[in-house]
Chain A
Amino acid sequence: MPTFKTRDEWKASYDAHIAELVAGSKKEGSKLVVYMGRELPAWYEQVTKYFKEKYGIDVEFMGLGAFEAASKIKAEVAAGKVTGDYQASGSSLARPMALDGFYQYYLPPAGLEPGINWFIDPLLDVKDPAFAGKAFSPIISVSMFGIMINTKLVPPDKEPKTWKDLLDPAWKGKLIMQDPSVSGSGNRIYWGMSKRYGADFLKQLVTQNLFIERNEANAARAVASGGYAMYIGSATTHLRQVEGSPVKVIFPEGVVLSIDDVGVITGAPHLNAARLFANFQISKDGQEISTKYGERTPIRGDVKPALDILDTAGKKILYFQTYDDDVNLMPQLREQAKQIFNIK
């Protein structure tokens, strides 16, 4: 991995690299196809505008679900008929995709910028021996998961202070959670609670008659409309989807973090534009747009979270998924969740 002694040295190298990518993207038709499912509308607008104005590149997003996007990418790569260039997803999908060769090796120099205090190193995985000689998926942001509560149904004195407070009989039949056996918020919070309190706690939680919903946005709406008192595992981004309703997200005991990864697809027809996009997402501009319009927690120390709730400062990190969690333990976790929650 290249190293830079000074920021100026890095900047000169970085600018030259970006200029090469811009020139290359022009030869490719100044286009980029990105698989990215769940960002806020304002983020899509800003990024599309930024790329068009700065690089003349038309970015087109495809909002497929994780399975649909992965199936498409795998089949296209195997057949050598790749139509998409770049994918952004949770690390539990991205890390195996990278290891299995569906992403190509690319080290975005934006992640090598000296003097940056990274909350999470975007190039974390490349330093992991498991990825030696293989592609990896750079990290671009983190999501924080807690509990969304309906403030009309959960008065301040009744707000859970620990996860175990969810076992209070008062909440029986009033809790909703995203399916923990699938990728998403339910899966993340399930693992966090499992690591903290073990499977017995989760079995007790099931006796609270949890309503299991597959679509995260629906779970947030169910709480916003007063159908349920609490959504276990809500991300901060869900707040925007139910803006104006009496809800807030709390973090009893601390936050469960999820890593958001990206990958340049193997055989991407717009390789230069895809690489440009990877650098953009890690760059200061990209991180600022991400937190301001996408309401994501930035990974760069020089970019402040746009909202207080996105700030990790002062919050205890309960769980942070590792490579081993995503690649080796995930199948077991999902099977265990299916059994405990009686999901077929």
Chain B
Amino acid sequence: MKISFERLYVISLLIVVAFLVLYPVGMIFFGSIRDTAPGLAGHFSLDGYAKIFRDPDTYTLLLGTLWLAIIRTVLIVVTAVFLAWAVSRTNIPYRGLLKGIIIFAFFMPYMPKILAWIIMLNSRTGLINQAARTIFPLGDEGPFNVYSYGGIIFTSVLLWTPILFILLVPVFEAMDASLEEQSRMSGASIWRTIWHIDVPLARPALLAATALAFVRMIESFTVELVLGIPAKIYVLTTKIYNNLAYTEPPLYPPAMALAVGLLVITIIIVAIQWKLLGQRQYGTVTGKGFRVAPVDLRKFKYLVFSGVLLFIFLNLVLPLGVLLWGSFTKIAGVFMPNMYTLAHYRYALSTTMFTRSIVNTLVIASISATVAMVLCSLVGYVVVKTNFRERRPLDLVTWLPWAIPSIVLALGMLWAYILLPLPFGLTLYGTTGIIIVAFVTKGFPMGTRTMTSTMIQITKELEESSRIHGASWTQTFTRIMLPLVSPGFMSGWLILFTLAAKDLDTVILLYNSRSIILSTLMYEWWWRGELEEAFILGLIQAAIITVAYTGATLLGRKILPPVT
């Protein structure tokens, strides 16, 4: 049987992606049916599954996890849609600047942001609470408490809205304004136009974004760990972590069985998303020209503008301000005489790890983002623009790294690559290469979603036209698709660069002193109580990402063709 070049390419791609994802995921599954960690002597056993099914806590935690994920997903999607619509379809002032700032908000590392909110919203000593109590007679506590369901939801919405915004903005920007104009000319109100024109046009991207947010919220871990556990709020991921990190000896089988359960939930969500999207075509970027003129909000203009500003203030200005302020204080959040100092900066700058972690972060994040985006572009094209039967498994495989709690994925990767037999005495484990592999793998869900969201809007007529005029499949991909998806590629590259530059959990078990990056150094300093130094690293991370973002944006404007 003759296999075409295209099919060979798709199968090769599937093998590469499947290896990167399924090998570590397989190790997690392997861990769930063994009574010890992979690599250690032990026996096959289903006790892990039996234990979680028998444990009534599992069902309580599952319900709690789903409830919390649904609430947060709804709020995140609504907020992201509002922001994306406001900056791309309306006439509010400084739209371009606001868009850039919201994207920048996503680039801020999570951990320092959470710590900053603790300093602000701790029920007793939080700066905002103290300020509120000086105005209103509220007693010794409150009115806000970051260690609560409200605190978890609020922080999660702030942390995760920008990433959905990044996914949705290109979709809103690519909509043909003439459709909205026709709606308005037919007498529809602004809100009716949004509901009947904008939302249906963005439906595929919205569904993808909702699914992504939901999966992310089920897998969410750091916020729940830091804010949930002190309030005795537990979810499945913190249960998994407790089984691993806070039980001696670690209970690998039930922890891994729970992680497999989370994988199953993700597969169901992806299947539902496929079912909802069906086989319909959602192309909005066509071979014809279209208008992108904004909608005049008239009297609502400044109301919407204020809403966007409020989000930016809460998401960026306040936490960044607290980090900056805290880094100059002896003890962040503690008021005392002579409280300001440069000692934390002097110490941070004097360590060799400081410089090394910055260089490593830049090199590792750049390489991994580039490699991942090349793979994700190829995957996105196969998934959206071809009918190969391998496209569904390929799509599903790219979701998996997001379905697993990071710490579990980290264990899977540790076991996978430490046991990976390579010829000629080569080794991947213990090198910087392993960190790059980890980030490429972790980048698949976001990278692929960015590219599929972009590609799904490009109608087949462009490619068909190219093929009719004699171009090969490869020429069509490189000369028609690539230029059209370049903004999406750049946006995806930035997202993956950022994720790599601030990711901690994925590489916490893989790095060593030679491959240390900013996030792992920040963790080390935070863990040993040097919070202010950790703040400084958080600020430097933000600065690096800002430079990368600005550079990529300027470069993008120069070299990338507009989407028309």
Q: Which A positions have Cβ atoms within 8 angstroms of B?
A: 33, 37-39, 41, 60-68, 71-72, 74-76, 78-79, 81, 83-84, 92-93, 96, 179, 181-183, 211-217, 220-222, 224-228, 238, 241-246, 330-331, 334, 342-344
With A63-B524, A227-B124, A330-B248 as contacts: A245 and B230 at CB distance below 8 Å: no
- Separation in Å of the A171 CB from the closest CB of chain B? 14
A181 contacts across to B, CB distance below 8 A:
246
In the complex, A330→B250 CA distance in Å? 13
A62 contacts across to B, CB distance below 8 A:
512-513, 516, 524
A33 near B508: Cβ-Cβ < 8 Å: no
- Separation in Å of the A255 CB from the closest CB of chain B? 21
A63 near B528: Cβ-Cβ < 8 Å: yes
With A39-B528, A71-B250 as contacts: A224 and B334 at CB distance below 8 Å: yes
With A67-B246, A72-B509, A179-B246 as contacts: A221 and B415 at CB distance below 8 Å: no
Task: Assess whether B419 is interfacial by the CB under 8 Å rule.
Answer: yes
Known: A63-B527, A213-B230. 18 other contacts (CB 8 A): A41-B347, A62-B513, A62-B524, A65-B245, A65-B527, A71-B414, A75-B39, A75-B415, A179-B229, A214-B229, A214-B230, A224-B331, A225-B331, A242-B334, A243-B331, A244-B338, A334-B246, A342-B232
| Cβ contacts A to B, 29 pairs, < 8 Å | A37-B527, A41-B530, A62-B513, A63-B523, A67-B250, A71-B414, A72-B414, A75-B37, A75-B418, A76-B418, A78-B37, A81-B429, A179-B246, A213-B230, A215-B529, A217-B526, A217-B528, A217-B529, A224-B331, A225-B331, A225-B333, A238-B529, A241-B530, A245-B334, A331-B247, A331-B249, A343-B232, A344-B61, A344-B234
Task: Assess whether B464 is interfacial by the CB under 8 Å rule.
Answer: no
4 cross-chain pairs, A with B, having the tightest CB-CB distances, nearest first: A217-B529, A63-B524, A67-B245, A60-B513
A78 near B39: Cβ-Cβ < 8 Å: yes
Residue of B with least CB distance to A327: B248
Task: Assess whether B244 is interfacial by the CB under 8 Å rule.
Answer: yes
- Separation in Å of the A186 CB from the closest CB of chain B? 11
In the complex, A342→B527 CA distance in Å? 24
A212 near B230: Cβ-Cβ < 8 Å: yes
Task: Assess whether B406 is interfacial by the CB under 8 Å rule.
Answer: no
Task: Assess whether B404 is interfacial by the CB under 8 Å rule.
Answer: no
In the complex, A309→B57 CA distance in Å? 44
In the complex, A216→B527 CA distance in Å? 9
B335 contacts across to A, CB distance below 8 A:
225
B40 contacts across to A, CB distance below 8 A:
74, 78
Q: Contact flags (1/0) for B181-203 with A, using CB distance below 8 Å?
A: 00000000000000000000000
Residue of A with least CB distance to B530: A41
A213 contacts across to B, CB distance below 8 A:
230
When the two chains form the complex, which single residue of B61, B513, B514, B528 contacts A37, counting CB atoms closer than 8 Å? B528
B433 contacts across to A, CB distance below 8 A:
none
In the complex, A179→B247 CA distance in Å? 12
Residue of B with least CB distance to A183: B248
When the two chains form the complex, which single residue of A33, A81, A96, A224 contacts B513, counting CB atoms closer than 8 Å? A33
B125 near A227: Cβ-Cβ < 8 Å: yes
Task: Assess whether B261 is interfacial by the CB under 8 Å rule.
Answer: no
B122 near A227: Cβ-Cβ < 8 Å: yes
When the two chains form the complex, which single residue of B336, B508, B513, B530 contacts A245, counting CB atoms closer than 8 Å? B336
In the complex, A60→B511 CA distance in Å? 13
Complex interface residues of chain B between 329 and 379 (CB less than 8 A to chain A): 330-336, 338-339, 347
When the two chains form the complex, which single residue of B39, B513, B526 contacts A79, counting CB atoms closer than 8 Å? B39
A38 near B528: Cβ-Cβ < 8 Å: yes
In the complex, A84→B513 CA distance in Å? 9
B512 contacts across to A, CB distance below 8 A:
33, 62, 83-84
B248 near A79: Cβ-Cβ < 8 Å: no
A75 contacts across to B, CB distance below 8 A:
37, 39, 414-415, 418, 509
Task: Assess whether B531 is interfacial by the CB under 8 Å rule.
Answer: yes
A79 contacts across to B, CB distance below 8 A:
39, 418-419, 429
Residue of B with least CB distance to A214: B229
B530 contacts across to A, CB distance below 8 A:
41, 241
In the complex, A83→B414 CA distance in Å? 13
In the complex, A79→B414 CA distance in Å? 11
- Separation in Å of the B453 CB from the closest CB of chain A? 35
A217 near B531: Cβ-Cβ < 8 Å: yes
A226 near B125: Cβ-Cβ < 8 Å: yes
B509 contacts across to A, CB distance below 8 A:
68, 71-72, 75
With A220-B529, A344-B57 as contacts: A64 and B124 at CB distance below 8 Å: no
A64 near B524: Cβ-Cβ < 8 Å: yes
- Separation in Å of the A221 CB from the closest CB of chain B? 6
Task: Assess whether B99 is interfacial by the CB under 8 Å rule.
Answer: no
In the complex, A23→B523 CA distance in Å? 35
A38 contacts across to B, CB distance below 8 A:
527-529
With A62-B512, A75-B414, A83-B430 as contacts: A222 and B527 at CB distance below 8 Å: no
With A220-B529, A227-B122, A245-B331 as contacts: A334 and B513 at CB distance below 8 Å: no
Residue of B with least CB distance to A42: B347
Q: Contact flags (1/0) for B237-262 with A, using CB distance below 8 Å?
A: 01100101111111000000000000
Task: Assess whether B120 is interfacial by the CB under 8 Å rule.
Answer: no
In the complex, A92→B248 CA distance in Å? 9
With A211-B230, A245-B334 as contacts: A221 and B531 at CB distance below 8 Å: yes
In the complex, A92→B246 CA distance in Å? 12
A67 near B331: Cβ-Cβ < 8 Å: no
- Separation in Å of the A85 CB from the closest CB of chain B? 11
In the complex, A101→B317 CA distance in Å? 51
A221 near B418: Cβ-Cβ < 8 Å: no
B529 contacts across to A, CB distance below 8 A:
38, 215-217, 220, 238, 241
- Separation in Å of the B293 CB from the closest CB of chain A? 52
B513 contacts across to A, CB distance below 8 A:
33, 60-62
Residue of A with least CB distance to B115: A218
B338 contacts across to A, CB distance below 8 A:
244
Residue of B with least CB distance to A237: B529
A63 contacts across to B, CB distance below 8 A:
523-525, 527-528
In the complex, A38→B61 CA distance in Å? 32
A225 near B334: Cβ-Cβ < 8 Å: yes
B339 contacts across to A, CB distance below 8 A:
244
Among the interface residues B57, B242, B248, B525, which one has the most CB atoms of the partner chain A within 10 A?
A: B248
In the complex, A61→B524 CA distance in Å? 10
Residue of A with least CB distance to B428: A81
Among the interface residues B40, B526, B527, which one has the most CB atoms of the partner chain A within 10 A?
A: B527
B528 near A71: Cβ-Cβ < 8 Å: no
B232 contacts across to A, CB distance below 8 A:
212, 342-344
A37 contacts across to B, CB distance below 8 A:
524, 527-528
- Separation in Å of the B561 CB from the closest CB of chain A? 46
In the complex, A84→B515 CA distance in Å? 13
Task: Assess whether B273 is interfacial by the CB under 8 Å rule.
Answer: no
Among the interface residues A179, A182, A226, A344, which one has the most CB atoms of the partner chain B within 10 A?
A: A344
Q: Contact flags (1/0) for B491-522 with A, using CB distance below 8 Å?
A: 00000000000000000110011101000000
When the two chains form the complex, which single residue of B250, B330, B523 contacts A244, counting CB atoms closer than 8 Å? B330
B432 contacts across to A, CB distance below 8 A:
none
A212 near B528: Cβ-Cβ < 8 Å: no
Task: Assess whether B400 is interfacial by the CB under 8 Å rule.
Answer: no
In the complex, A245→B330 CA distance in Å? 9
A215 contacts across to B, CB distance below 8 A:
526-527, 529
Task: Assess whether B427 is interfacial by the CB under 8 Å rule.
Answer: yes
In the complex, A306→B472 CA distance in Å? 77
- Separation in Å of the A256 CB from the closest CB of chain B? 19
